[in-house]
A and B are shown apart, each in its own frame.
Chain A
Amino acid sequence: GENVEQHPSTLSVQEGDSAVIKCTYSDSASNYFPWYKQELGKRPQLIIDIRSNVGEKKDQRIAVTLNKTAKHFSLHITETQPEDSAVYFCAPRTNNAGNMLTFGGGTRLMVKP
């Protein structure tokens, strides 16, 4: 099955700084790469995703970049705000695995005001 690792496991930044979280996966057949945000006590919510035929996607302050050769993709958050504090999960999907997402262990982002 897919082996997914996220780094770092915790990240503390000052408000206004940028944050980058990296996700490494093992299956070269993976073709869908989403990021989920989970605030304390809430449900995971999809914040951005990218497919294998695209190298980068942006949505306001967040962006995802994909390097299929190296088998990793990253979440970039610019101009961080306290409300960005949450746990972020990557969850790549392999076409061979039906519709199953494999979630990484999560990265806890803390934005200090």
Chain B
Amino acid sequence: DAGVIQSPRHEVTEMGQEVTLRCKPISGHDYLFWYRQTMMRGLELLIYFNNNVPIDDSGMPEDRFSAKMPNASFSTLKIQPSEPRDSAVYFCASSFRKAYGYTFGSGTRLTVV
């Protein structure tokens, strides 16, 4: 298995632009998580899905952030409009049931200028 696949690896965008981050979980995994990592705030859970259904989005910072999981093999995290304070590494992770740990993707380093 190729693991959790995220794209793009790096994204540089101007303030006000729309940004879309993509994630393909490990085949067969039924949970998918979006995390944001910064030096100041560490690893923050933004949202997670179970069987494609959003379960907890209480970590989504504000209405500028949205996430979808249209099927078991694909999820997106969208920021519109983007702001410099959104600059961070965004990780996607997946897991199989509740009994196991997470497998993280390689992350997307987002820079908003």
Q: Which residues of A contact B (CB under 8 A)?
A: 34, 36, 42-46, 49, 89, 93, 95, 98-106
Interface hub of A36, A43, A46, A49 (most chain B Cβ within 10 A): A43
Q: Which of B61-69, B76-84, B96-104 contacts A (4 or more CB under 8 A)?
A: B96-104
Are A106 and B102 in contact (CB-based, < 8 A)? no
Inter-chain CA distance A36–B37, complex, in Å, is 14
Are A43 and B48 in contact (CB-based, < 8 A)? no
User: Which of A42, A49, A106 meets B42, CB within 8 Å?
Assistant: A106
Inter-chain CA distance A102–B48, complex, in Å, is 13
Are B48 and A103 in contact (CB-based, < 8 A)? no
| Given contact pairs A98-B56, A99-B95, A100-B56, A105 touches B42 in the complex (Cβ within 8 A) | yes
Contacts of A46 in B (CB 8 A): 101-103
Contacts of B106 in A (CB 8 A): 42-43
Inter-chain CA distance A101–B50, complex, in Å, is 14
Inter-chain CA distance A34–B99, complex, in Å, is 11
Are A99 and B42 in contact (CB-based, < 8 A)? no
User: Which of A34, A95, A100, A105 meets B45, CB within 8 Å?
Assistant: A100
**Shortest Cβ gap from A86 to chain B (Å):** 14
Inter-chain CA distance A103–B56, complex, in Å, is 16
| Given contact pairs A43-B91, A44-B91, A105-B42, A99 touches B103 in the complex (Cβ within 8 A) | no
Q: How many residues of B contact A (CB 8 A)?
A: 19
Inter-chain CA distance A99–B43, complex, in Å, is 16
Does B25 reach chain A (CB closer than 8 Å)? Answer: no
Inter-chain CA distance A93–B97, complex, in Å, is 13
What are 28 pairs between A and B in contact, CB < 8 Å?
A34-B101, A36-B101, A43-B91, A43-B106, A43-B107, A44-B91, A44-B104, A45-B104, A46-B102, A46-B103, A89-B43, A98-B50, A98-B55, A98-B56, A98-B98, A99-B48, A99-B55, A99-B95, A99-B98, A100-B45, A100-B56, A101-B45, A101-B102, A103-B42, A103-B43, A105-B42, A106-B42, A106-B43
**Shortest Cβ gap from B68 to chain A (Å):** 19
Does B34 reach chain A (CB closer than 8 Å)? Answer: no
